[in-house]
Amino acid sequence: MRDELQFPADALQARVLGTASKRGLLNCTRQWGKSTITAAMAVHQACSTPESLTLVVSPSARQSGEFLRKATGFVRKLRIRPKGDGDNEMSLELPNRARIVGLPGNEATIRGFSAVSLLLVDEAARVSDELYLAIRPMLAVSGGSLWLMSTPYGKRGFFYEAWAHGGPEWERVRAPATECERIPREFLEEERRTMGERCFKQEYLCEFEDSVSGVFDRTLVEEAISDEVEPLWIR
């Protein structure tokens, strides 16, 4: 990243780029650079593994297109002329026949891909559980890596469940705005005053907040459930 792509990754970004974990959760503030970092990860995968397939899933075609734009920029810095794979509208194919393909969050467009070496789910908190369950089998034979990246979006969905209740196979990386030197503190204080504490914690402090429509706090409900109490049957 530093030498070939002229990108000055900070310590936390370097940790993400350098990890050998097969399963990763990147819980980060807005404007931290997750798309840039994971685009570099995708380009490295493609350059180092001939004929590999990296798949990028986002909630919308626009977001997947933005990801591919960043990956294309990195490929140009490597003095490789970018080209599509001829089959997918949002795609890159390198001379070693490795591909990076971007897809919108639509289950109908996802099925059919297999042997994925690297599976990236951008804005994972806003991708449906159905789509997530549809893409996981793509890693069954290849033994590829899976990274979920997102800003929190409430205590719901597979991204929250993996972060809060997932097993030790997940490497968790939390990147709040207060620990990012690129985001001025004056801006954060303005945002806190403008959007309120609850929204600010979610967007900038990487905290999973309860939905405002809930009558009871989710944590209280979960703590009230027990498997150790024998049911009382009323006849």
Q: Give the residue-averaged pLDDT of 14-20.
A: 90
Distance CA 110, CA 104 (A): 8
11-18 vs 34-48: helix crossing angle, rounded to 10: 30
Q: How far apart are CA 216 and CA 197, in angstroms?
A: 18
pLDDT of 60 strictly over 80: yes
How far apart, in whole angstroms, are the C-alpha atoms of residue 168 and residue 96? 34
pTM of the model: 0.84
> Tokens for 223?
């703590």
Angle, alpha carbons 96-97-102 (nearest 5°)? 125
Strand intervals (E) in 18-90: 23-28, 53-57
pLDDT tens digits along 78-97 = 999 889 998 888 999 999 99
Per-residue pLDDT for 52 more than 70? yes
Residue 168: exposure state from Cβ atoms within 10 A (0-12, 13-18, ≥19) = exposed
Task: Calculate the average pLDDT of the chain.
Answer: 89
d(CA 127, CA 95): 32
Domains parsed from the chain with CATH numbers: 11-215 (3.40.50.300)
Residues 112/138, Cβ–Cβ less than 8 Å: no
Q: pLDDT per residue over 189-227, tens digit each?
A: 999 999 999 999 999 999 998 865 556 665 666 667 777
Q: Mean pLDDT check: name the lowest of 6-15, 107-116, 162-171.
A: 107-116
pLDDT reading at 68 higher than 60: yes
**Residue bearing the bigger pLDDT, 122 or 4:** 122
Check residue 224 and give its pLDDT. 72
Token output for 219: 């944590």
What percent of the chain is modeled with pLDDT above 70?
93
